[in-house]
Structure 1
Amino acid sequence: MLMTGGVQNITVTPEDDGVRLDKWFKKYYPGLTFGRLQKLLRTGQVRVEGVKTKEPGLRLVAGQSVRVPPLDREKDVKPAHEVSKQRVTREEAAAIRSWVLHQDDHIIILNKPAGLAVQGGSGTKQHVDGMLSALKDGMMDKPRLVHRLDKDTSGILVLARTQKVAQVLTAAFRTKDVRKAYWGIVVGVPPLAQGRVDLPLNKSHSKSGERMVVDELEGKRAVTLFKIIDQAGRRAAWLEMEPVTGRTHQLRVHMLAIGNPILGDGKYGGEEAFLPGAEVAKQLHLHARSIRFTHPAGGVFEITAPMPDHMKATWAYLGFDESSAPPPFEDDVE
């Protein structure tokens, strides 16, 4: 029998938090039949966190490790996870280490650059998940993702250094225990100096790809708080945005919904997301600036990430002074 390279131990990603074990296998090993999976479970060849399980309906938790036995390459499609098992080059290792803002025995905080995906996928050769082994630093396992950022969004990305910490932080990200503040520039100026967007979001599929849309009937509740820090006339405004919920592309869709697309967000705003004649980068101007949460070792942890170069240049072009911004999280979330 041909093998895919022996036993694999694969970390459950934040995207798959709460997914049934059988659905997880269906997603990443589409050639594996349900009957064959049941046999692997009955014979103890599949394990979650080192424990044998016979329950195909077991709900997985982000950060857990799933033991996948050797599979027949002729029957089982090469798993998507193998893309994250690529060898880290010396240049990649140096790069990801340079993004570290904070590191202790429990967590690592990265300042992710814009344009780099957090996880692998179709056509994605380089991503944060594939570089994490460079940050093991004496630990048995590589750090684990506990949340995500869009590829084109820069800023704070939290990593857990152990499976136990990953479970704690993943649960915290589902609630208001983690507060995140984003900086962005929007085209035009919102009608209110500060406000709350409460519009449900849902996925929409079309020939042009998958998008998030406002869906009052079947969407999941999504809430965003925002306030204007400064503005360039009526042309553009610098906002601080706080996602109370954590839906995919939430800030981008919500800002578009109130008539102020985020600068450079051609995917959602089209031509309206750009400033004609302005000498600014045509990249997305959205940055995960600050985060606050309870540290796994106790106490409140808060950190701020410097903006990427393209956003610093736009701030200067529009006459914004980042030192004039008020501290994040001044107000309690409702």
Structure 2
Amino acid sequence: MIKSFIVDKTYASMRIDKYLRFNIGKFPQSLIEKSLRNGKVKVNNKKVKSNFKLNLGDKIDLHNFEFKENLLEKKIKFKPSNKVIKENENLIIDNNENFVVMNKSAGISVQGGTKSKKNLIDIFSKSEIFQDTKPFSVHRLDKETSGVFIIAKNRETAQLLTSLFRMRKVHKTYLAICHGEIEKNSGQFNDQLIRYDNGKKIIEEAKTTYKVLDKNSICSLVELKPITGRKHQLRKQLYAIGNSIYGDSKYSNKLFKQSKNKNLMLHSYQIKFMINNKKYTYRASLPNYFNELLKVKRLKFLN
């Protein structure tokens, strides 16, 4: 049995793996990659890799792919308790008919496909907030990062918000506490970040504007506004200038490896966008551990 789809302008430039999760089901990355390798999923009658970017008018064929859904359901072990659901509902900043905005806690993934089975999409799929619909993830936020996060309530809003993110019409502001004193008080990071996908080296342009809000001889509080949206972009860029973020065990200068801080001091503080000429601005209050470190390091944040 073959199911076919034609890519419209909404999904042009989207990765094939993201397209499948968005339109077909919450499949783990490993299953998607295996299906692509085995020819269960083809684009224009050709095998492609998971990072293949779709073009307008591309034809996607699914060969006997749907039976995997039952297999997937059996593999999902995480079933959120009422307590877990309530804890996350209490973090909601706004809840309207089209989307939910929340102040995500550090340590929880936003969706499946990671090593952690516990994720927000699974949690909210059991919530009364999504009783007559289902949650849609429209952007990323690292598991270790706290702060403002949006979940769409319907496919139409999800498609719209996804397009706004892709067109860079959603403006995000992060706060980070960094090791050391950042020399220049403001500027822009322009980097060529390197990552690997199935052994292939990929170089991506990364741009971020920054402003130092307060600093001393041992640390800095910096405001970051990413222009591009690369994986671990802010963490990599601060590491590259020698001012890695407190609590970052992955991108940390050897001098700061002995830091006892367990939390990543990176917080998605604000998000701004416009829909139908209406402006939306949301802010997520700082976690207690973030405020505590500000006091210990004698840094001031005037919000």
TM-score, normalization: structure 1?
Answer: 0.70
Q: CA–CA distance in 1 between the matches of 2:171 and 2:139?
A: 13
1:18 aligns with 2:14: yes
Q: CA deviation at 1:27?
A: 4.8
Q: Which amino acid aligns with 2:171?
A: R
Q: Which amino acid aligns with 1:293?
A: F
Q: CA deviation at 1:308?
A: 1.2
Q: 1:275 to 1:181 in 2, by over 3 A?
A: farther
- Report the RMSD for the aligned CA atoms in angstroms: 3.5
What secondary structure sits across from 1:200 in the alignment? strand
Q: 1:268 aligns with which of 246, 251, 256?
A: 251
Q: 1:87 to 1:272 in 2, by over 3 A?
A: same
Aligned residue for 2:290? 311
Corresponding residue pairs, total = 269
Q: Is the 8 A contact 1:110 1:156 kept in 2?
A: yes
Looking at secondary structure, tell me which structure has more strand per residue: 2
Q: Is the 8 A contact 2:172 2:225 kept in 1?
A: yes
Aligned residue for 1:70? 67
Q: 1:298 to 1:162 in 2, by over 3 A?
A: farther
Q: Which amino acid aligns with 2:286?
A: M
Q: CA–CA distance in 1 between the matches of 2:124 and 2:130?
A: 13
Aligned residue for 1:112? 104
Q: CA deviation at 1:225?
A: 0.7
Q: 1:28 aligns with which of 13, 26, 31?
A: 31
Specify every segment of 5 or more residues in structure 2 that has no aligned partner in the other structure, as ranges: 1-12, 21-26, 46-57
Aligned residue for 1:44? none
* CA offset digits 1:104-136 (Å, max 9, x no partner): 111110111111111224541311121121445
Q: Which amino acid aligns with 1:288?
A: S
Q: 1:82 to 1:246 in 2, by over 3 A?
A: farther
Aligned residue for 1:48? none
Q: Which amino acid aligns with 2:270?
A: S
Aligned residue for 2:116? 124
Q: Which amino acid aligns with 1:313?
A: E
1:285 aligns with 2:265: yes
Aligned residue for 1:238? 221
Q: 1:251 to 1:21 in 2, by over 3 A?
A: closer
1:56 aligns with 2:67: no
* Identity between Structure 1 and Structure 2 (%): 26
Q: Which amino acid aligns with 1:28?
A: L
Q: CA–CA distance in 1 between the matches of 2:225 and 2:130?
A: 35
Q: Which amino acid aligns with 2:192?
A: P
What secondary structure sits across from 2:88 in the alignment? helix
Q: Which amino acid aligns with 2:146?
A: S
Q: Is the 8 A contact 1:135 1:142 kept in 2?
A: no
What secondary structure sits across from 1:224 in the alignment? strand
Aligned residue for 1:49? none
Q: 1:202 to 1:245 in 2, by over 3 A?
A: same
